[in-house]
Amino acid sequence: MNTRQWLETLVGFDTTSRNSNLELIATLRDSLEQQGIKSWLAHNKEKTKANLFATLPATAGANAGTTEGGIVLSGHTDVVPVDGQKWDTDPFKLVEKDGALFARGSCDMKGFIATAMAMVPEYIAMPRAKPLHLAFSYDEEIGCIGAPVMLEEIVKRGIKVDGCVVGEPTSMNVVVAHKGINVFACKVHGKSAHSSLTPQGCNAIEHAARLICAIRDFADGYKANGPYDQFFDVPFTTMTTNQIRGGIAVNTIPELCEFTYEFRNLPGMTVADIQARIDAYVKDVLLPKMRAEFADARIEIDNFAGSPALEAVEQAAITELVRALTGDRETRKVAYGTEAGLFQKIGIPTIVCGPGDIGNAHKPNEFVTLAQMERCEQFLRKLGKSLEAV
């Protein structure tokens, strides 16, 4: 199949993160197998989702047949929901209009996966002295949950590669850094009581509100005082509370309040140091207030999802290669997260470069332009040729 046909096939699978991606993964695996390419899967605990990793061995020279070294092309197979969005077309059916391809995931990021899969026959035919690898993950959109399962297996199997390109939408420009993203679930446990007997209870919502305001104060401090990195579109670490629920009735003191918060940290700022400020506030300020009302009050905080920041090394071979192939020499750093930091964490030099504008991702009528897809195809072709035997 060509790139257009692959994209049409991939967007036809509703791989919203709440759903299984196994049917899509099976389609990729079967296509690769038919072309003589072996792959392995790394599943979630429930066996309802899977990552796929495949290697196209070197085809020429003294290294013919080797699977060591080479470059990984990485992408995630899940997409964000369309719930509540007003689409002009069926979001899971590819529609071409005015030089663009519309569908959920066309931009973020099935366009890159489609291009990589369409290139496989060419890659097989190229006299490459090094292998190419394909790494397709699940659940990136809900905190990069799937990729660590695959990366753990890569380490376990002793797979060695030279570099990785994560094809998130960058308009085919080079992104050398992005922030880390860390998502926390907080449960504030108080004591219920009839609201007419307020002193007999411990209001979980009100104490949760104190913690939420403290998180906002920390965020304001980073905005006002830094540290800063002016290459980022948002040049400081951000913190925000995004979900909250609690209470069972208008006349009952709530015993439980749950909320989630996240922070997106600049490279160089550790998750532990940022979270330590929140933990200190809980221990030294909030819990004493709560336990003065209810001795068994407690607060649980769970870091349930996240991905580390990326800070690519300019001198790394993969950075120099991608810059050379794209002709892009600008320094670009972005606030959104990707799986690139996870690859870098296990020692694989990584860069971000893929088709589409991130501003079109996650929106109704998501699209990728035909011109961007063509640029991606040209880039991946050049990348393959860069591995050819001399």
- Residue 193, φ and ψ in degrees, nearest 5: -165, 160
Of these residues, 8, 108, 139, 140, which one is catalytic? 140
Residue 33 is a catalytic residue: no
Q: Which residue has the tokens 């992408």?
A: 75
CA-closest candidate to residue 45, choices 141, 131, 145, 143: 145
Give the CA count within 13 Å in the CB-facing half-sphere of 60: 13
Question: Could you tell me which residues come within 8 angstroms of residue 77 by beta carbon, excluding any fewer than 6 positions away?
Answer: 10, 15, 21, 24, 25, 110, 113, 136, 137, 138
CA-closest candidate to residue 303, choices 278, 268, 267: 278
Question: Could you tell me which residues come within 8 angstroms of residue 185 by beta carbon, excluding any fewer than 6 positions away?
Answer: 258, 259, 260, 301, 302, 304
Of these residues, 78, 108, 162, 262, which one is catalytic? 78
Residue 140 is a catalytic residue: yes
CA-closest candidate to residue 374, choices 225, 93, 172: 172
Cβ-count burial of 271 within 10 angstroms (0-12 exposed, 13-18 middle, 19+ buried)? Answer: middle
Residues in the chain: 390
Q: Tokens standing for 170? A: 């960058």
- Alpha carbon distances (Å) from 326 to 112, 285, 320, 390: 15, 52, 10, 22
- State how far Cα 61 lies from the chain centre: 37
Question: Which value, to the nearest 10 degrees, does the dihedral of the CA atoms of residues 118, 120, 121, 127 take?
Answer: 140
Separation CA 65–CA 77 (nearest Å): 28
Q: Tokens standing for 211? A: 């913690």
Characterise 344 by phi-psi region: left (phi > 0), alpha (psi -120 to 50), beta (else): alpha
- Alpha carbon distances (Å) from 170 to 17, 104, 299, 351, 364: 22, 17, 40, 11, 19
Q: Active-site residues: which are they?
A: 78, 140
